[in-house]
Structure formats: structure tokens, C-alpha cells
A = this chain, B = another copy of it.
Amino acid sequence: MRIHNFAAGPCTLPLEVLEEARDEFVDYHGAGASLIEMSHRSAEYDAVHTEALALARKVAGAPEGFEVLFLQGGATLQFAMVPMNLVGAGGTAAFSITGAWSKKAIADAAHSASTAVAWDGGPEYTRMPSADELVVPGGSRYLHICSNETIGGIRYPEWPDVGMPLVVDMSSEYLSRPIPWDLVDVVFGGVQKNLGPAGMTIVYVRKSVLEAAPDLAAYLSYATHAKG
């Protein structure tokens, strides 16, 4: 008897995936130890990690010009890390406010950058804006959008091209639609709704962003994670 979880939180996983993880949980491929007891520098773990990175690149269709990062702290930590890495105290990040998640994002960004509201669908948040409706101040570094606001149940039917890089929070619909690589500098989302159990965030970040990033505390710097 299997229960299916239809809730908006963590997702149901394929039974065969759970069974394979269970079967190799105590003794991984005859190594005499669980994978979770092994060093992150071991050949066994490194093979799993490298394959997972390659798959995350492949299923998203991410071009070579993007890094694939596996991070902790959820999409919430990205609300802080994106403006730290892309903007810093001297610049401005613009936001399309379309519900609870974009409101959290702009509030967190305000701790490390100037912020601007390019559109606000409140208080009802019943639809997403068209590209024409988004008024992005000219000096902004990027426009942040939440591509699917789960609480209001609204979604951008088309990607807004505003002549400025997009940062896209895709948590609730991650890898359920193609990512517009030409338009984005950063795409992020927790994996727990569409990709796996809770606990990891995948961030796709354009490599040129890393080169221009300010010096930051180690965990908060995309450059640290890109170095591996």
C-alpha cells in the first residue's frame, strides 16, 4: 500500500528509487560501509557527486557557460546570496512582486542591495505581468521573478524579456519547463517538489557572474562552490 502525497510540500518519490537507495544503504556496492559514512574525497562518493552534477546539467539543458551548484539553505538562502553575489551595496536589484515568495525575496535582498519594484500584482496576486508591464529602473543589475507562485497559483506563461538579465526562482516548477538560458543569469530552486527529497538547492549561475562577483564569506560566495 503506497500513499501518494498531493500536497505542495515535499514530493512523492519513485518507488524503485527508494528501493535502490534502501538496498545499498548499509553496504554501498560491497564497499563494507554506507555511502553516508564515506569521505567526500573518496572515489565512491566522488563518482556519485560527479554523475549527479552531470545529470543536473543534462536534464536542464544547461549550456557550458553556466555552473551547476548543489547548495544548502534552501531557496531562502538564495534570496540573500543572489544580491550579495550579483549586486552588493552599491547597486540595485529589481523585483516583480507576484506573491508570497517574491515578497520574501525582495525583503531579504534589501539587506545587501538597493531594491526596486518593477511591478506589483498585490494585494490579490491573481496574474503575472507581461513584459510590457514590467518597469525596470535602467541601472538595475537584474530582474528577479518567481516563475510559479504556488500560494496564489499563478505562473508566467511566457518568459518576460525586459532587455536585462533575469534571476528566476523556479522552486515549485523546477525542470517542468525549459529554462530560457539566453535570458537568465541565475536560476535556482529547492529540489524537494520535483527532483528529490528536501535538503538541497540547485543553482545554475552564468560563469561571467562569478568572475565579476565581490569578495564574500566563503559559504555565501558562488565562486567558492564553483571551485568545488
Let me know if A43 is at the binding interface, CB within 8 A.
Answer: no
User: Interface range on chain A: under 10, 10 to 19, 20 to 34, or 35 or more?
Assistant: 35 or more
| Contact in complex: B9, A216 (CB < 8 Å) | no
Let me know if A1 is at the binding interface, CB within 8 A.
Answer: yes
Q: Which residues of A contact B (CB under 8 A)?
A: 1-3, 5, 7, 9-13, 15, 18-19, 21-22, 25-26, 31-34, 36-41, 72-74, 76-77, 79-80, 104, 107-109, 111-112, 197-199, 215-220
| Contact in complex: A33, B12 (CB < 8 Å) | yes
Bound: A210/B226 CA distance, A:
33
| Contact in complex: A21, B25 (CB < 8 Å) | yes
| Contact in complex: B9, A39 (CB < 8 Å) | yes
Bound: A125/B11 CA distance, A:
48
Q: Known: A10-B39, A36-B10, A38-B5. Contact between A73 and B22, CB under 8 A?
A: no
Bound: A77/B72 CA distance, A:
10
